[in-house]
Amino acid sequence: MRVTFLGTGSAMPVTGRAQTGLLLESDSNALLVDCGSGVLARLAETEVGYEGVSSVLLTHHHLDHVSDLMALVKARWLAGQDRLEIVGPEGTEDLVEGLFDVHDYLKGRLDVQVREVGPTEFGVAGFDVMGFEVRHSMPTLAYRFSNERGEADFVFSGDTEAFSALGDFADGASVLAHDCSFPDDVDVSNHPTPSQVGEALAGWDIDSVYLTHLYPHADRVTDDLRASVSERFDGEVRVAKDGLVVEL
């Protein structure tokens, strides 16, 4: 399995970081996870491209995770593609319907199939996925990905506070990409600081953690983020950046 970090930023723009988006590849399968502002351009820089992504999985519906969704629809239509599957938590059908109401000239351009999922097992784009409800300001799912070849698992936290049950959900995974929006000197809810991430993951068997969804406050002190998590978590800790490719 290959994971490409397309966007590692947040709702507040940071130079060099698009908003949230990940590309997962395995064999001939490709899946886009979240589709924030700038993600479509990052996707166009990959070998897969937007032509090769026919499924999008959303963690939740905040703007910095969905704002390039209709741009993806239009790009695939103009590129001669004929379908797009959009999968996400409760409310995804209403979200997509509302977006098409605003951009009504795109209605019927693609065969768009929408599916809502919850904290259960499901399949999408050839990947076996387990959903897990996390702690954010709106319904949000973390996801654990594997495939038929039995490769090492990848877990994406989505936007969430750090808590031990999420560490349990990721236990045994090769890679966890975890929200680390703010440094320790910022008082924040709905997102974690690095010390909170380290505390929540302490004792769980996770090979590597990649910190993502960085606000400007965190982007300025990436070395401090990594060091703070490492005080409590024994695995490898890295700060993700746009374009980073991780092979599992």
> What mean pLDDT comes out for the span 101-110?
97
Q: Which helix (H) or strand (E) holds 230?
A: helix 222-230
Tens digits of per-residue pLDDT, 168-201? 999 999 999 999 999 999 998 999 999 999 999 9
User: Can you give the pLDDT at residue 147?
Assistant: 65
Residue at token pair 């409590």: 232
User: Can you give the pLDDT at residue 44?
Assistant: 98
User: Can you give the pLDDT at residue 151?
Assistant: 65
Tens digits of per-residue pLDDT, 78-88? 999 999 999 99
pLDDT band at 152 (very low <50, low <70, confident <90, very high): confident
pLDDT over 90 at 1, yes or no: yes
User: Can you give the pLDDT at residue 148?
Assistant: 63
User: Can you give the pLDDT at residue 27?
Assistant: 86
> If you classify domain 1-117+126-242 with CATH, what class do you get?
alpha beta
Tens digits of per-residue pLDDT, 45-93? 999 999 999 999 999 999 999 999 999 999 999 999 999 999 999 999 9
Distances (CA, A) of 197 to 113, 179, 185: 36, 8, 14
| Ranges assigned E (strand) in 89-152 | 111-116, 121-124, 127-133, 141-147
Of 36, 37, 31, the closest CA to residue 54 belongs to: 31
3-class SS at 241?
Answer: coil
Distances (CA, A) of 226 to 183, 199, 208: 10, 13, 12
Looking at the chain, the whole-number percentage of residues with pLDDT higher than 70 is 98
pTM (global) more than 0.95:
yes
User: Can you give the pLDDT at residue 149?
Assistant: 67
